[in-house]
Amino acid sequence: MEMDYDIELNWRTADSSEYDVIVDDEVFETLVTHNCCKVKEWITETENKNQRRLHRLIVGLDVEWRPNTITGEVNPVAILQLFVGKRCLIYQFLQGVHEIPKVLKKFLKNINYTFVGVGIEQDKQKLIRDHSLEVTKTKDLREMAAYELSDRDLCYAGLKKLTKVILGKDGGYKKELNVTMSDWDRNRLSKEQVLYACLDAYVSFEIGRQLQSWYD
C-alpha cells in the first residue's frame, strides 16, 4: 500500500543554519551552510558515525539552481544536497567569499563512496561546469531500478515514481511550483526549501540503499 510521508521541520539553532527535519517520526539532522568549518565538521561527524560503512558508503545527492527565466540564461548550481544515514548537508555555493572546502572536494572524489540520484550524470556535469567540482563515483537510480526490476520504463522515471515503486511512498509532500522554481541562491532558505531539499536527498539515499548501490 502506498503512503504519504509525514514531514515537519524544527529549528535547532537561532541562526537558522541547523534544523531537525522529521520524516515519519525519524529525525534527520540538517545543516544549511557555506561555512568551511561547518562543512568540515559535518563530514567528519558523518564519517565517524559511519565507520563500518566507509568502504561502501552510499550518499544521496541532488542539486538546485535558480530557474532560467531569460532565453540563453544558464544559472549556476546554487546548492548541493548530500544525505547519509540520518544526516543532511545543504551546501550553499553562492554565499560568502570562501572557496569550496577542500574536505568537500575530497569527500566527493572518494572512490569508496557511491553518490546516487535521478539524472545524476547531468547534476555531475553541472557541478563540473559551474564550480569545477568533481564527483568520482555515481549511479543513476533509474538505471539501477530498471535493471533490478527488469522494467526498462523505469529508465525514464522521476524520483516520485521511483519512490512509489521502491519505497511504497507517493514521493512525499506536494511540491508546489513556488518551491521547486524558487530562488535557490537566496542567503536564507525558506522552511519549504529546506524541507524539499532534504527530502529529495533523503529519498535518493534510501532508494539507493534499498537497491544496494555499493555493488558494481
Other C-beta atoms lying within 10 Å of the C-beta of residue 157:
19
Q: What is the pTM of this model?
A: 0.92
Residues 171, 172, 173, 177: is their CA dihedral positive or negative? negative
Q: Mean pLDDT, to the nearest integer, of 134-138?
A: 97
What's the confidence (pLDDT) of residue 122?
96
What's the confidence (pLDDT) of residue 114?
97
Q: Mean pLDDT, to the nearest integer, of 126-131?
A: 96
Phi and psi at residue 214, to the nearest 5°: -75, -15
What's the confidence (pLDDT) of residue 169?
82
Other C-beta atoms lying within 10 Å of the C-beta of residue 141:
26
Alpha-helix residue ranges (DSSP H) falling in 85-187:
102-108, 120-131, 141-149, 159-162, 177-180
- Is the domain covering 7-210 a CATH 3.40.605.10 domain? no
In this predicted structure, the answer to whether residue 172 has a pLDDT above a threshold of 70 is no
Other C-beta atoms lying within 10 Å of the C-beta of residue 193:
20
DSSP 152: G
| 116 within 8 A of 205, measured Cβ to Cβ | yes
Q: Report residue 68's pLDDT band, with 50, 70 and 90 as the boundaries.
A: low
* Mean pLDDT estimate for the chain: 89
Q: Could you tell me what percent of the chain has a pLDDT over 70?
A: 89
Q: Mean pLDDT, to the nearest integer, of 40-44?
A: 98
Query: 10: buried, middle or exposed (CB in 10 Å: 19+, 13-18, 0-12)?
Result: exposed
| 77 within 8 A of 135, measured Cβ to Cβ | no
Question: Measuring CA to CA, how many Å separate 159 from each of 93, 170, 184, 201, 205?
Answer: 24, 10, 19, 10, 11
DSSP 155: G
Q: Report residue 74's pLDDT band, with 50, 70 and 90 as the boundaries.
A: confident
